[in-house]
């Protein structure tokens, strides 16, 4: 069953289970014809890659280590979230190709310091392996050309208000290309 996401049409942070309306990222009025206009948010695309590798899971599966988009709810002790920051247009790469660079952050929360550090290290390891990986959502296909960490793993210490849960973050940039339907 395809999964999808539209930040304005669904409750924050939930992956809907059925059909999804299209959200143009970064918001072109026509949906865009340029290859760097995305129909899903970069956090949804990268998050789907992380889920497909079984590092984290869909929140609807009620398992340990769910991955949320754009927020981290208080309920689960062991959970992750992915956030969109911004994009920079048309950086010229060594190949001469211009593309949009998207910036994201993954946050991991864990009841145990070592386990949380290990989980975010798994995320980092997977993202560093990305090399023109393709991911599909029904009729939509994206090529994640590259993911570059822009920070190391950052342990943030204990969550505020003495919840005794540890936070870790990882910041990265990516180049994602929407593949036109054939």
Tell me the per-residue pLDDT of 93-144, one tens digit each, with 9 for 90 and over.
Answer: 566 555 678 899 999 999 999 999 999 999 999 999 999 888 888 788 888 8
Q: Which strand (E) or helix (H) includes residue 179? A: strand 166-179
Assign 3-state DSSP to the chain and report helix, strand, coil percentages, each to 5: 15, 40, 45
Q: What is the pTM of this model?
A: 0.76
Confidence of residue 9 (pLDDT cuts 50, 70, 90): very low
Say how far apart CA 85 and CA 15 lie, in whole Å.
19
What is the model's pLDDT at position 169?
96
What is the model's pLDDT at position 117?
97
Nearest to 74 by CA among 172, 7, 167: 167
| DSSP 8-state assignment for residue 60 | G
Instruction: Assign 56 to helix, strand or coil.
Output: coil
26: exposed, middle or buried (C-beta count within 10 Å: 0-12, 13-18, 19+)?
Answer: middle
Q: Are 147 and 172 in contact (CB under 8 A)?
A: yes
- Quick one: tokens of 83? 């956030």
Fold of 42-179: STM4215-like (3.30.2000)
What is the model's pLDDT at position 10?
34
What is the model's pLDDT at position 175?
86
User: Residues 49-66: pLDDT tens digits?
Assistant: 999 999 999 988 878 899
Most confident segment among 16-25, 79-88, 114-123, 133-142: 114-123
Sequence ranges of the domains in the chain: 42-179
Token look-up 């290990």 returns 118
Could you give the percent of the chain with pLDDT greater than 70?
71
Say how far apart CA 80 and CA 65 lie, in whole Å.
6
Confidence of residue 74 (pLDDT cuts 50, 70, 90): confident
Nearest to 174 by CA among 50, 5, 52, 31: 50
């Amino acid at each position: 069953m395809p999964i999808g996401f539209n930040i304005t049409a669904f409750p924050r942070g939930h992956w809907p289970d059925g059909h999804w309306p299209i959200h143009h990222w970064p918001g072109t009025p026509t949906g865009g014809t340029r290859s760097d206009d995305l129909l899903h948010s970069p956090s949804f695309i990268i998050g789907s890659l992380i889920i497909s590798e079984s590092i984290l899971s869909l929140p609807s599966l009620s398992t340990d280590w769910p991955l949320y988009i754009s927020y981290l709810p208080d309920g689960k002790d062991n959970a992750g979230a992915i956030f969109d920051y911004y994009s920079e247009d048309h950086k010229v790469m060594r190949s001469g190709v211009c593309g949009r660079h998207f910036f994201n952050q993954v946050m991991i929360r864990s009841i145990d310091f070592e386990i949380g550090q290990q989980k975010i290290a798994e995320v980092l390891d997977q993202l560093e392996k990305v090399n023109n990986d393709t991911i599909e959502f029904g009729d939509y296909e994206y090529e994640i050309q590259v993911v570059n960490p822009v920070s190391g793993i950052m342990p943030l210490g204990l969550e505020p208000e003495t919840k005794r849960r540890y936070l870790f973050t990882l910041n990265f940039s990516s180049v994602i290309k929407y593949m036109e339907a054939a």
